[in-house]
Structure 1
Amino acid sequence: MNPIERYLQAATRENTRRSYQAAVEHFEVSWGGFLPATADSIARYLADHAQTHSISTLKQRLAALGQWHVSQGFPDPTKAPMVRQLLKGIRTLHPGEPKQAAPLLIQHLQTAVAAIEHDAVQARARHDLPALLRASRDKALLLIGFWRGFRGDELARLQVEHIQAQAGVGMTIFLPRSKGDRQALGVRHRAPALKVLCPVQAYLQWLEVAGIAHGPVFRKLDRWGNLSEQALNSNSLIGLLRRILERAGVPAALYTGHSLRRGFATWATSNGWELKALMNYVGWKDAKSALRYIDASVSFGELALLEGGSSAGLLTDQA
């Protein structure tokens, strides 16, 4: 790969590259289309999948095909008026409510963490390092993911070198790149030390147990408890999250990698956070993005996390 190609590739998120590649392969291989495509072939492709694919999936496929044509120097057929009109007609005849991950409720988070802590105590008593590693990693992943409202791919990309944590004070997390960071300047997040469900304490315990001093924070563990040097794959986080919750007796079928983010947004809203404060903390640039994550029907503000007071102002700043 020459330097130009390397820098161009770095400008696009890995998940986006993979999904775009899969979309182009679906058009060419699965459907039998030809590239470069015409507006007519794009329209026929959409019509053939209108009843089996959601609007969001079709739009993602169009974005991928459009990007391919632009990158190869061809006119973009996905911008043709006929294609846009067809997509509007599909949306009209096949309306569907957008699928969203269920928010991880605070009581389910408490249940899961309590079960993990019980497993850790038993593992220490048995001198079972593999079990202790798994419990420590899973607890830190849940609490950092929830209290920072991170996406699955952001959790997978956390590096020890980019985190400063002090027990009883808080932690600072630097993400060199993220979905909302359009200029690729990096974003610095802060999380405070809490009296219960503390992400800082969980993170420091995980580093101590795992003996990690650099590299990925959250790593693969095989069935024998061997800790990998490689980071968890973001695509594996859904299965991992569900296994953690199922072991704690929590119904997990509706939860995905975005459930931690939605859970925090719902908790914050239920505890009186203003929308602007929530957007600043999580990193949303527009209110529409934030509102998609908030489940206003869920109310559990009575579950205050600070002893003797409301948790509404618990997490209100971001560096």
Structure 2
Amino acid sequence: MSTPASLSTILQPALSEDEQDAVTDLYIRGTPPNTLRAYERDLIYITAWKLAAFSAPLAWPETETVALRFILDHSRDLHDASNSARGAAEHLIAQGLRKTLACPAPSTLDRRIASWRAFHRMKNLASPFDAPLIRQTRGKARRAAAKPRAPKSANPITLDVLEAVLATCDHSLRGIRDRAVLMLGWASGGRRRSEIAGLMRADVDLKDYPADGLIWINLIATKTTETGKTPRLVLKGRAAKALAFWIEMGGITDGPLFRPITQNDDPLARKLSPDGIYQIVQKRIAQAGFPKGFATPHGLRSGFLTQAALDGAPIQAAMRLSLHKSVAQAQKYYDDVEITDNPATDLLG
């Protein structure tokens, strides 16, 4: 992946040209593509904001005054403001870099600050966002904007929901593909849609399938694991049969594992996008008779863990498939189970 022009200006500490090239190459190879794209978008945004707010380009290192103003400008609603903060926001809106004058989500501000700090680290410079006053101000702003966290999926896709959704998948190639997508996404631990879409045929090991009915899945990387350090996942039973059937019927010998299907029910050569996974889940949820917005692809992940809790599976066993690093994070799904449905209430029979 080539370095975007605006980002390449950041990757230039006071080194020789050869050393700069080597550092740039390390950052490119050592940073996930999605992170690089996020860095690029954030750099474009903060550069435009600094120009609109101060009529000046970014400085390295940046001043604490600029850092404080950035936090203040992005921690309040500007609809009723008539100051320079609103003027800068309107410039960003005109450039398509900001949607409204409403206060941005705290997570968006956190990400942009994290990127700005990363740019300083790339240049071996101290970040103004590490100053005590700036850190305290950011903490106060985050608490002031705190809202109850909305779930990524309105409802978990537990086994009963999944069965209803799978029943909508017919024997067309599209139905065969969708059944495999849903079963792999659920049974392998609740995979994220980006992980499902990113699978290649080479990531699927069928050598144990004929004798033992097992399929091994090799994820290159996930949100919580590093490239090359993700443990192999296993599919068995109905999920393994669904995936093997898709591979056979789709003629998937190499390249992307899941692909778009034409109106003539033929697979294309390119991979299915994460948005394609989203559309599959939405379509099948609706066809199963559930209301619009009932669940999203994250419902596969939350549904797997919720079902594990309902079935009395130890949380550590579920986490080996879901690949959660934090027990506290995975525990939230276990805590969502109604106490009357908790298998522990039936220990005496």
TM-score w.r.t. structure 1 length? 0.79
The one-letter code sitting in structure 2 at the alignment partner of 1:85 is Q
Report the equivalent of 1:280.
Answer: 320
Report the equivalent of 1:247.
Answer: 287
The answer on whether the counterparts of 1:112 and 1:250 sit within 8 Å (CA) in structure 2 is no
Shift of 1:200: 0.8
Report the equivalent of 2:245.
Answer: 205
SS of 1:277's partner is: helix
Q: What are the equivalent positions in structure 2 for 1:191-270 lying under 5 Å apart? A: 191-193=235-237, 198-223=238-263, 225-270=265-310
Could you say if the C-alpha distance between residues 293 and 43 of structure 1 is closer, same or farther in structure 2, counting changes exceeding 3 Å?
farther
TM-score w.r.t. structure 2 length? 0.72
Report the equivalent of 1:35.
Answer: 58
CA deviation digits over 1:250-278, x for unaligned, max 9?
23415333221111011101111222222
Report the equivalent of 2:217.
Answer: 173
Report the equivalent of 2:109.
Answer: 58
Greater per-residue strand proportion: 1
Shift of 1:115: 0.9
The answer on whether the counterparts of 2:215 and 2:236 sit within 8 Å (CA) in structure 1 is yes
Could you say if the C-alpha distance between residues 235 and 6 of structure 1 is closer, same or farther in structure 2, counting changes exceeding 3 Å?
farther
Shift of 1:203: 0.6
The answer on whether the counterparts of 1:163 and 1:172 sit within 8 Å (CA) in structure 2 is yes
CA deviation digits over 1:45-73, x for unaligned, max 9?
22222242232222222212211222234
Aligned residues: 285
Instruction: Give 5+ residue unaligned stretches, structure 1.
Output: 121-131, 303-319
Q: Say which of 155, 164, 176 aligns to 1:136.
A: 176
Q: Say which of 180, 194, 204 aligns to 1:163.
A: 204
Report the equivalent of 1:19.
Answer: 38
Q: What are the equivalent positions in structure 2 for 1:180-195 lying under 5 Å apart? A: 180-182=224-226, 184-193=228-237
Could you say if the C-alpha distance between residues 24 and 216 of structure 1 is closer, same or farther in structure 2, counting changes exceeding 3 Å?
same
CA deviation digits over 1:116-150, x for unaligned, max 9?
1xx32xxxxxxxxxxx2221111111110011111
Report the equivalent of 2:162.
Answer: 109
RMSD: 2.7
- Percent identity, aligned pairs only, is 25
The one-letter code sitting in structure 1 at the alignment partner of 2:33 is E
CA distance in 2, matches of 1:299, 1:155: 32
Could you say if the C-alpha distance between residues 172 and 183 of structure 1 is closer, same or farther in structure 2, counting changes exceeding 3 Å?
closer
The answer on whether the counterparts of 1:241 and 1:257 sit within 8 Å (CA) in structure 2 is yes
Q: Does 1:154 align with 2:195?
A: yes
CA distance in 2, matches of 1:24, 1:98: 27
Shift of 1:293: 4.6
Instruction: Give 5+ residue unaligned stretches, structure 2.
Output: 3-20, 77-102, 343-349
Q: Say which of 33, 49, 69 aligns to 2:120.
A: 69
Moved more, 32-41 or 272-281: 32-41
SS of 2:68's partner is: helix
